[in-house]
A and B are shown apart, each in its own frame.
Chain A
Amino acid sequence: MPFDHKHLLGIEFLPKKDILTILDTAESFVEISTREVKKVPILRGKTIINLFFEPSTRTRSSFELAAKRLSADIINFNRQFSSVVKGETLKDTVLNLESMQSDALIIRHNCPGVPHYISTFCRSHVINAGDGAHEHPTQALLDAFTIRQQKKKLEGLKILIVGDILHSRVARSNIFLLSKMGAEIACVGPPALLPEEFKEFGIACDYDLDRAIQGADVIMMLRIQSERQQKNLFPSLREYKDIFSLTPKRFRRAKRNAIIMHPGPINRGVEISADLADSAKSVILRQVENGIAVRMAVLYLLLGGKERETTD
């Protein structure tokens, strides 16, 4: 099954068969991280640049380890300590870094569409590591990988996404991916954070967590982005907590073998109770662990093999 893409910009336009190729390839990469020598030589001599214009712990270090375990060289660009603060434009920054012979750029930016824009003028492979509220494809892929690992399938599962859907690129990418795979998706959150347009994708929208959680196989909690609280999209953090926090009592309404996911960083005691986050039902750290194998698969599929003329 050839994987014929130059970039990974999002899930929305990625065909189901290519998603499956990434997930299946990732299965083979899990074992490498359990070895004593956690390294294979396949991307030796390739140069990858982590270009993060927004803070990140998990995604950046996960990509960095994934690249290193494939023997690629990777450098980290940090906005704060770069010439961006001296007024260099995005395009100039990218062109300058690329003239150092990079093979791939991993991009996070707070503006939606930046990875796509960069892919229009640069030679390197571009991987979207999160662009504004648009997409975060590798997060959705690692989420799907984790669900498949736990539930042995994706099709027909009842998946509940809870929280700030409006601002969440994780939710968008997951909705695209999981609906392509035939899962049944429902979203729950305060009305102002729950875009009605999602109903057009066949997504159930609800404002009552106690009702929506019934029978769920997977509960995906999103971080409540308290920095957006100034906009008064919900009355107060305390009220949000009362209505939308995942507590042991609420969790009991889900399926007996339901799992809890969260893309991190978690606000303990806000969107999820600390006890639940640490419980055996939570696969939050498993998601982080799987992130490396999934990103190794993405890097391998994009950078490995012959340069080909591709359509995207």
Chain B
Amino acid sequence: MAEKIKARVMDARKIKRALHRMATEIIERNRDLSSLVIVGIRTRGIYLGKRVSSMIKELENIKIPVGVLDITLYRDDFSELEAQHMVKKTEIDFSVVDKDILLVDDVLFTGRTIRAAMDSLIDLGRPKSIQLFILIDRGHRELPIRADYVGKFLPTSKREIVQVHLKEIDETDEVLITEPVDTT
């Protein structure tokens, strides 16, 4: 199905400013940064997590490790998926026990991905806390989940699609609102 672009809500500069602000908020809220670890949800959460880690490094000169979480095996909508999701690797080479985990994803929508991610993290050990870091909160939650750090609140209709593009994999940094167009 084709889709049309309805709006370009963030560009590279806006994304960078939002991430900077959020990095500062993280430093403010976590007095002990030595117990902080970042876990990015595949795929775009990884790159956002890495960017935030290097911003914290610049500001506080402390290196926050970044892990990668694949939540395919924890999804609750698994049997409804049309095609099969490829399972990719979870790569968290540090212990999460007693750590403050900063869970990073690009878009917060129904909250089901975050539920799956939290289940998965807790199976890896008992963290001290989990904080949620989201670039775009587009509403329409189906579970009682909210983010601790939000780049931008973006009211959307359910029909719309929010696309976050990051230059690490998409060539450019931008956030788009698109809508499927019926070609029939």
What residues make up the interface of A, taking CB atoms closer than 8 Å to B? 1-3, 21, 24-25, 27-29, 31-32, 35-37, 39-42, 70, 297, 300-301, 304-306
B125:A36 contact, CB within 8 angstroms: yes
Known: A36-B125, A305-B79, A306-B81. A28 touches B74 (CB 8 A): no
Sort A-B residue pairs by CB-CB distance and give the 6 closest, nearest first.
A40-B73, A42-B73, A28-B87, A2-B83, A305-B84, A28-B89
Q: A42-B73, A305-B78 given. 13 additional CB < 8 A pairs? A: A1-B86, A2-B83, A24-B86, A25-B86, A29-B87, A35-B124, A37-B123, A37-B124, A40-B74, A40-B120, A42-B72, A297-B87, A305-B79
B89:A31 contact, CB within 8 angstroms: yes
B79:A41 contact, CB within 8 angstroms: no
CA distance A306 to B82 in the complex (A): 7
CA distance A101 to B120 in the complex (A): 29
B123:A35 contact, CB within 8 angstroms: yes
A27:B89 contact, CB within 8 angstroms: yes
B74:A305 contact, CB within 8 angstroms: no
B80:A306 contact, CB within 8 angstroms: yes
Determine whether B173 belongs to the interface, using a CB cutoff of 8 Å to chain A.
no
What residues make up the interface of B, taking CB atoms closer than 8 Å to A? 70, 72-75, 78-91, 119-120, 123-125
CA distance A2 to B82 in the complex (A): 10
Which listed residue (A35, A41, A297) contacts B119, Cβ 8 A? A41
B79:A300 contact, CB within 8 angstroms: no
Secondary structure at chain B's binding surface: helix, strand, loop or mixed?
loop
Chain A residues whose C-beta falls within 8 Å of the C-beta of B89 in the assembled complex: 27-28, 31
Which listed residue (A28, A70, A304) contacts B84, Cβ 8 A? A304
Minimum CB–CB distance for B24 against chain A, Å = 34
Chain B residues whose C-beta falls within 8 Å of the C-beta of A305 in the assembled complex: 78-79, 81, 83-85
B86:A31 contact, CB within 8 angstroms: no
16 A-B interface contacts by CB (under 8 A): A3-B84, A27-B89, A31-B89, A32-B73, A35-B123, A35-B124, A37-B124, A40-B120, A42-B75, A42-B78, A300-B73, A300-B87, A305-B81, A305-B84, A306-B79, A306-B81
CA distance A300 to B81 in the complex (A): 14
B123:A28 contact, CB within 8 angstroms: no
Chain A residues whose C-beta falls within 8 Å of the C-beta of B123 in the assembled complex: 35, 37, 39-40
CA distance A1 to B88 in the complex (A): 12
B89: nearest chain-A partner, CB-CB: A28
Minimum CB–CB distance for B67 against chain A, Å = 11
Chain A residues whose C-beta falls within 8 Å of the C-beta of B72 in the assembled complex: 42
B119: nearest chain-A partner, CB-CB: A41
CA distance A2 to B88 in the complex (A): 14
B87: nearest chain-A partner, CB-CB: A28
CA distance A300 to B88 in the complex (A): 13
Which listed residue (B75, B82, B90) contacts A31, Cβ 8 A? B90
Minimum CB–CB distance for A125 against chain B, Å = 14
CA distance A72 to B75 in the complex (A): 15
Chain B residues whose C-beta falls within 8 Å of the C-beta of A42 in the assembled complex: 72-75, 78
A39: nearest chain-B partner, CB-CB: B123
Chain A residues whose C-beta falls within 8 Å of the C-beta of B87 in the assembled complex: 25, 28-29, 297, 300
Minimum CB–CB distance for A198 against chain B, Å = 35
B70:A28 contact, CB within 8 angstroms: yes
B78:A28 contact, CB within 8 angstroms: no
A2:B73 contact, CB within 8 angstroms: no
Chain B residues whose C-beta falls within 8 Å of the C-beta of A301 in the assembled complex: 84
Chain B residues whose C-beta falls within 8 Å of the C-beta of A37 in the assembled complex: 123-124
